[in-house]
Amino acid sequence: MGKQTIIPFGPQHPVLPEPIHLDLVCEDEKVVDVIPKIGFIHRGLEKLIEKKEFTDFVHIADRVCGICSFIHGMTYCMAIEGVMNIEVPPRAQYLRVIWSEFSRIHSHLLWLGLTADAFGFENLFMATWRIREHILDIIEETTGGRVIFGASKIGGTRRDISNDKLKDILKELEGIEAQIRECSEVFLKDSSVKSRLVGVGVLTKEDAYKLGAVGPMLRASGHDYDVRMSPYAAYQELDFVPVVENSCDSYGRCVVRIKELYQSCRLIEKAVAKIPEGAIETKIVGFPKGEYFARSEQPRGEVVYYVKGDGTKMLKRFRVRTPTFANLPPLLKVLTGCQLADVPILVLTIDPCISCTER
């Protein structure tokens, strides 16, 4: 055993959009152990539920994360709808799919850009974020917000999208998909990209399951688990099949996210083709009494919302288990034994969202 050095990584680091601290125990350039520390941006959102009416809390849930804002708000609504046995109108279920998939495209493009930036491919970073701007424009046109959608509502959605607008969106999406294809060719074929990702951060199929990985981290290790296979929103009517890769490395995670971009485009097309006419919300009557766990698939993986109400307008308990929290044990596994220079890219391969994680 060589001399061990502890190198602090974070909470402020150029590759980290948000603060997490890792103590990297190194022998020369090899990381032999990792000790994580979180809690730098804890906002006490779980406690805040005791002071906000359950209907108003949707706006807080929307702000749990700045990337997958809509899916957070929607999953909170699903939890309350589960407690109160509220039937969401079919049109609202389809709108939820459309906005969820736009969130996924925007999040995966953001990740691709950050990853390109992390390995110093600045042109690729700018190209992916330029495409992302078009997605944000569509989100703004349909919800009024670019990052925080504010479109979730208990019992349905706050806004509708007209059928004409939906057709326009499909036309725009065709052009966006062509641009994604151009960029993804570089991610999938360029030798400098491959040299940083192929064979780096291997998480075996067995380890991914044992360590509780979720999202692209799990599916890149050969597991076909995706919450969209379960009956929520309108996914069960869209013939959803998860994207799975078997390479188990950072490249595999990149491939899963790229394939999911195309998959999201297909899901939006199918949802637009099938969206029924009708109401977009069911009026809620009374207050939540009971408890419920709601799960949905965020861009980063499975998110779990737990709510408990006692029949008053304030909930008693609210808890979020985010995908990044579930992906911390797999991250520690892939970091152990890696080269120090690969740490930034490996941290990024879980697509960490620390503000979500700390609530």
Partner 1 sequence: MSKQEIIEIKVDELINRVMELMAGQWRLVQICASKIETLELSYSFGKNHDLVTLRIPSLTGQEEIPSITSIYFAAFAYENEIHDLFGINIKGNCIDYKGNFYNKAVKTPFNIG
Residues lying near partner 1 in the complex (CB under 8 A) are found at: 21, 35-40, 42, 46-47, 82, 209-212, 225, 229-232, 291-293, 295, 302, 304, 306, 308, 316-317, 319, 321, 325-326, 328-329
**At 9, is the secondary structure helix, strand, or coil?**
strand
Shortest distance, position 325 Cβ to partner 1, whole Å: 7
Give the residue with the Cβ less far from partner 1, 47 or 181: 47
CB of 44 to partner 1, least distance (A): 8
Cα 98 to Cα 61: distance, rounded to the nearest angstrom: 19
Contact 291, 306 (CB under 8 A): yes
Instruction: Provide the CB-side half-sphere exposure for 20 (13 A, CA).
Output: 24
Question: Could you tell me which residues come within 8 angstroms of residue 123 by beta carbon, excluding any fewer than 6 positions away?
Answer: none
| Cβ-based nearer residue to partner 1, 129 or 225 | 225
Q: Please confirm whether the linkage preceding 11 is cis (ω < 30° from 0).
A: yes
Between 122 and 293, CB nearer to partner 1? 293
Please, which residue, 128 or 296, has the CB nearer to partner 1?
Answer: 296
Minimum Å gap between C-beta 210 and partner 1 is 6
* Angle of helix 250-274 versus helix 163-189 axis, rounded to 10: 160
Cβ atoms within 10 Å, residue 187:
21
**Is the separation of the CB atoms in 288 and 83 below 8 Å?**
yes
Nearer to partner 1, 108 or 228 (CB): 228
Nearer to partner 1, 40 or 262 (CB): 40
Smallest separation (angstroms) from partner 1 to the CB of 65: 17
**Cα first-last separation, the chain:** 40
- CB of residue 51 to partner 1, shortest distance in Å: 15
- Interatomic CA distance for residues 314 and 64, integer angstroms: 19
Q: Which of 23, 21, 25, 1 is nearest to 10 (CA)?
A: 21
Q: How far is the CB of 130 from partner 1 (least distance, A)?
A: 36
